[in-house]
Homo-oligomer: A and B are copies of this chain.
Amino acid sequence: MIGIYDSGLGGLTALSEARAIMPDTDFIYFGDTAHLPYGTRSESAIIRYAREALSFLGDKGVDAVLCACGTVSSVALDEVKNDYPFAVMGVVEPAARAAVMASRKQKIAVSGTSATVKSDVFRKKILELSPNAEVISVGCDLFVSIVENGFANDMPIATEAAKRYLSGLSDCDTLILGCTHFPLLSEAIRRVLPQITLISSGKEGARSLVKYKKKETGKTEFYLSDTGGSFASMARVFLGYGISPIKKL
């Protein structure tokens, strides 16, 4: 069984991909909706939330956890990953690798939350893989709220936000969506940067899980830390089928 952990809905971009490539594997999804959005929290808070999530998923018996959250992957992963008896993986390295492979000019843009950009780990990872790459990072915190509040396909709002955050990136040929919420804004992002190649960090992270593939029942359980928001209805839109998330105690 593989755990997928995000602050909210964003990790569903990773779950969809993971289920498509491993249909017989069991998954458990945890959305930390009580603490969402992570991107403007302090490093110490994000590390604390990550430890709580990993302990919870560990108790459920996972073989591996993908931190399908750019903020956790950037800010907390190195701090926590060796403290559990299962593999703890992130989205930074797979996304950085995919971007370096996709970019012709090696001019790569990274979009993420403020906490992700501040951590600078996407840039460092890209430069490890491609020392002459040029990297521009942009914090796009409002994107998370736009997705979580159901405005991802509301073009005036989503496109205006994308313009504000991304219009300076037209010189780059590749953009890492370094927060797993951002692929839901792909249409708006493409309106602002029509030529750019988009790299979904959630999708790339999911592909790195394939070594934990198992012949199981193919079921997925969903847990949330708070059920006040619209996760279930939004997840239906996103996944194409209804789910009944369970509140983690």
Show the binding face of A for B, using Cβ within 8 Å. Answer: 33-35, 37, 40-43, 45-46, 114-115, 141-142, 144-146, 148-149, 151, 154, 156-157, 160-161, 164, 226-230
Which of A40, A114, A151 gathers most chain B CB within 10 Å? A40
Q: Apart from A35-B35, A40-B149, A142-B146, what 20 extra A-B contacts exist at CB < 8 Å?
A: A34-B35, A34-B41, A40-B228, A40-B229, A42-B227, A45-B226, A46-B228, A114-B228, A114-B230, A115-B228, A141-B145, A151-B161, A151-B164, A154-B160, A154-B164, A156-B156, A157-B157, A157-B161, A157-B164, A160-B160
Q: Which residue of B lies closest to A157 (CB)?
A: B160
Q: What is the bound-complex CA distance between A42 and B230, given in angstroms?
A: 11
What are 8 of the A-B contact pairs (CB < 8 Å)? A33-B40, A34-B35, A41-B228, A45-B226, A45-B228, A142-B151, A142-B157, A145-B149
Q: How many whole Å from A89's CB to the nearest CB in chain B? A: 24
Q: Which residue of B lies closest to A149 (CB)?
A: B142
In the bound complex, do residue A42 and residue B164 qualify as a contact, i.e. CB atoms below 8 Å apart?
no
In the bound complex, do residue B160 and residue A156 qualify as a contact, i.e. CB atoms below 8 Å apart?
yes
Of B114, B149, B154, the residue contacting A141 (CB under 8 A) is B149
Q: How many whole Å from A42's CB to the nearest CB in chain B? A: 3
Q: Which residue of B lies closest to A225 (CB)?
A: B45
Q: How many whole Å from A72's CB to the nearest CB in chain B? A: 13
Residues of B within 8 A of A229 (CB): 40-41, 114
Q: What is the bound-complex CA distance between A41 and B148, given in angstroms?
A: 12
Residues of B within 8 A of A164 (CB): 151, 154, 157
